[in-house]
Amino acid sequence: MVSGKLPIGGLSSSVAVTTAYLMALADVNNIELSKMDLINYSHWVETEFIGLKNGILDQAANVLSMNNQLMVMDCKTNEAELIQKGDNMPEFEVVVVYSGISKQLISTDFNNRTDELRVAGWVLQDLSVMAITPAL
């Protein structure tokens, strides 16, 4: 059973749900998965099953994040580091505002924007005489 306490307009994430399912399935079947396994399997569901051209940052944030820690991640190497919140860092609050607009990424131009950004990166690399990196 999946349940939550988010009001209408709350945040929702297919990555969070997928990761939770994977963790539950692994648990009831006594399968040990590393954090990177969870990230990679969840990413596979997003890209191969759902069809989104996204990276692993959402998955990594769900799996690796910890309270009062800043996660720094290199998504090319999959190296992540957690940095403790400094004692002298002032208190702050995060405000999430619901716009009233609901979208599913797969029904938007998300994949087109991803392709356009990749091509723009290649053009900039070419103009700067850098080697063009292949698509992931």
Angle subtended by helix axes 35-44 and 14-28, to nearest 10: 120
DSSP 10: -
Q: What is the pLDDT of residues 26-75, one digit of tens each?
A: 999 999 999 999 999 999 988 888 888 788 888 888 889 888 888 888 87
Q: Is 70 exceeded by the pLDDT of residue 4? A: no
* Active site amino acids: 58
Q: What is the pTM of this model?
A: 0.63
Its sign, for the CA torsion 71, 62, 113, 111, is positive
Q: What is the pLDDT of residues 75-99, one digit of tens each?
A: 788 899 999 888 888 887 777 676 7
Buried b (16+ CB within 10 A) or exposed e, 34-63: eeeebbebbbebbeeeeebbbbbebbbbbb
Rounded distance between C-alpha atoms, residue 71 and residue 69, angstroms: 6
What is the reported pLDDT for 102? 66
DSSP 48: I
Rounded distance between C-alpha atoms, residue 123 and residue 117, angstroms: 10
Q: What is the pLDDT of residues 96-129, one digit of tens each?
A: 676 776 666 666 777 777 777 778 877 888 888 7
In contact, 72 and 83? CB cutoff 8 Å? yes
Q: What is the pLDDT of residues 43-52, one digit of tens each?
A: 998 888 888 8
